[in-house]
A and B are shown apart, each in its own frame.
Chain A
Amino acid sequence: MSIRTEPMTINIGPQHPSTHGVFRLRVTFDGEDIIEAEPILGYLHRGTEKLAEERNYVQIVTLTDRLDYTASMTNNQAYCLAVEKLLEVEAPLRAKYLRTMTAELQRIASHLIAVGFFLQELGTFGGTPLMYAFRARERILDMFEMLCGARITLSYMRPGGVFWDPPSEFWSSLDEFLKEFPSDLAEMEDLLLNNEILMVRTREVSPLSAEEAINNSVSGPVLRASGVKMDLRVMDPYDAYSMVDFDVPIGSIGDNYDRFWVRMQEVRQSLRIIEQCVDQIEPGDYRLDLPKVLRAPEGTESYGKVEAPKGELGFYLFSDGGISPYRMKIRSPSLINLSVIDRLLVGWKLADMIVSLGSIDINMGEVDR
């Protein structure tokens, strides 16, 4: 005799402690098992693409801050690269190094948040690892405040460089950070990287094969965790990435643990990149002498992309010769990584759902734009 069960549909979100913002997931459960999952988006839709059509090229930089608000620096970078491609200019060397450095700092900050929340969703009470992650991230945010006066919505970069040279105290605190952060990171790794409970919770849970990952266009750590050797920093070097040496962690089967592990390793590689940038950077111009109101030639288009912490972030710009882009399309990694969510969830349990969602590391500002 079998037990008669009835599927139960629950809306996870938009108000839920672990949906990373106002995200709604309509999930049908059979007991604890998930039999259907559908993401429902749009609670944070602000129409960034439409707003961009009304603003000039520099003003849009402030809009890009608000996409992935845990990684504004890389958003700025992707956008500025797109505009530079459109104008066919190139930032000065010092600006390139500054951008690379700050983008990598931002990657550390973003990955710390991702890892912290991932562990929080595994259920460490009150988020002890999250607090440790925030403690380290705080120092990065402090440096960003020195750099550009804001901590989250940075607007540090401009088309043609960065808005200003870092102050002298930035360099000393960066040195201090580079010296002290590895031990903080080692502490976090000691805390949970090889923890048995974490292992049994994440190993072989929600695996994503390489074929599936490619077919679903996922990018960034999620793609690399599946074993696909793809990193835009290496494959299509922008800014100063061709001048630094770093390794790329590749996962094996793309389960939750691999995604977590790849992020943890990437933080170490980011540190290496920053160290090399600090060694290599030389005095020089930090910004091109471009007019305040930029105009791109009519009919030109460009697609600027970077390896953002969450994946491939691209800006497609089309200019009609005016002071603002005719069309701006944001290829947001969070949205496209999210298209794989139903595959990851179906067949797993309620507790795994939250963890898988955390392992993709979405950011609603970027999903809904």
Chain B
Amino acid sequence: MTERMWNNHEMRSSYDVVIIGGGAHGLATAYYLAKNHGITNIAVIEQKFIGYGGSGRNTAILRSNYRTEEGILFYDQSLKLYEDLAQELDYNLMFSQQGHFTLGHSTASMQALTTRAAYNRALGVNSTILDPPEIKKMLPEIDISNHPRYPIMGALYHPPGGIIRHDAVVWSYARGADQRGVHIHQLTEVQDILVENGEVRGVKTNRGTIHCKQVVSCVAGWSSEICKMVGIKLPLVTHPLQALVTTDYKPWLHHVVVSSTLHIYLSQTDRGELVCGNGIDHYPHYGMRSTLGFLESYAAHLLELFPILHNVTVQRQWAGLCDMTPDYSPIISMVDDVDGFYINCGWGTWGFKGSPASGWNTAQMVAERKTPDMIAAFRHDRYVKNRLVGEKAAASVGN
């Protein structure tokens, strides 16, 4: 019998905090609430199973080379938490800080990358601009000739960026939270959130009602539906994002490579598979289906960068849901009109790398009932107050 990573518990009729969503963000929040703040009477409720959503469907790329001060500091905290996470959770997360390339294919994108490098360095994040021969030295198989439709003009190189085993992050946060007394309830679907006189009273689920004074919504692509239950409209649009994994290939790619112009990013796992991701589908959708069109355009773009890969075969493709915000920054926020309700969403295509800092700060916000400085910029109503945190220029791919 394999050792269970977390236990099944009877559902209590009340908890101090209910976290909706058993992905990396929800579980990290539960873990840090227990570890940093001693709050352990917590239920994490998940409609399917742990890691079913974006946490199990992303391409597990980590980096902090963002564009705004708020973004850079936040993702830098996240990356630093990731660096110590394997030791802290006593779990091999296979974190490999192999370095991260963002390729530029136009003068405009080189300018944007140069600005990012400067901002990054000013805030202590390691980022530099490389020219094509320097790129070629580190990625010998890349085509830096002027034959492709979009020749490479340079790259933003970010040495601390890398990849991690995403399932292991989810499982180890779940185990860490479980060991501290948190209850994880899978196959539990939220039907309503109970609010009285502007205060949270509980959560109605398909397995009965749970009484609580604090509810955290960490449901990414499904956030609009959950927040509607307390009368909050969000600036989110849910789009699918597709990815694929190839069959094993010789160890060949030792860095993460991203090209926003070609809409692709790829990395190689320790098993030799290439994990490849794309931009989001161009219309909103709640279905997680993969398309042939994605496969075709991906293959064409990949071979422009790396002609050597023409024989590599596709093993599997899949899709996940992304909750896109207008400024490509997340929402981590209290709500003025509903005391005890917290929103954690807007993770779009950039969520996995943010989950430790997201959990850390959300936990602090719930425990202290006030917004930590680190995430003050990420309020849900910043849009209508015209306080956007523009990270579109730092998104992996032009969506």
A and B form one complex: no
B interface residues (Cβ-Cβ under 8 A, vs A) = none
A interface residues (Cβ-Cβ under 8 A, vs B) = none
